[in-house]
A = this chain, B = another copy of it.
Amino acid sequence: MNPICQVEGFIEAWNQSDLAAIEAALDDAVIYHNIPMEPIAGKNPVVEVIRGFLAGTTACNWETHHIAANGPIVMTERTDQFTLANGREAAVRVMGTFEIAADGRITHWRDYFDRVEMEREFGMDSTGGASST
């Protein structure tokens, strides 16, 4: 399978908020690391985090500006836009690396972004709690 197509399909699954398709794209031993936070290891823990995240949104619109591959490594430059359940619009500028197994599943996903920007966009205060403003 073409690794770029696998990642494009994974991003499309996010844009459909299709948790089953997201889950199907992940290797059982996937490691998901938002670089400013701690990594999460294993499909089930990762899916539970994504499930909770999607529950707080009503729409995802990830725009891929650039994508490139080198063998099983796929690198993306994106703006990840979300409509939050409280009506707020959030957009975070991101670069992410995906490592794709021979069967097409994602074994590693690392997203690089500014934690300050993420917290501002999601209306979180500096201690990580949600703000109503």
Question: Can you list, as one digit per residue, whether each of A32-71 has a CB less than 8 Å from chain B (1) or not (0)?
Answer: 0001100000000000000000000000000000111110
Overall SS of chain A's interface: strand
Number of copies: 2
Binding site for B on A (CB under 8 A): 35-36, 66-70, 73-77, 93-97, 110, 112-117
Complex A-B: 23 CB contacts under 8 Å: A35-B93, A35-B113, A35-B114, A35-B117, A36-B114, A36-B116, A36-B117, A68-B68, A68-B69, A68-B70, A68-B73, A68-B75, A75-B76, A77-B97, A77-B110, A93-B112, A95-B97, A112-B113, A112-B114, A113-B114, A114-B114, A114-B116, A115-B115
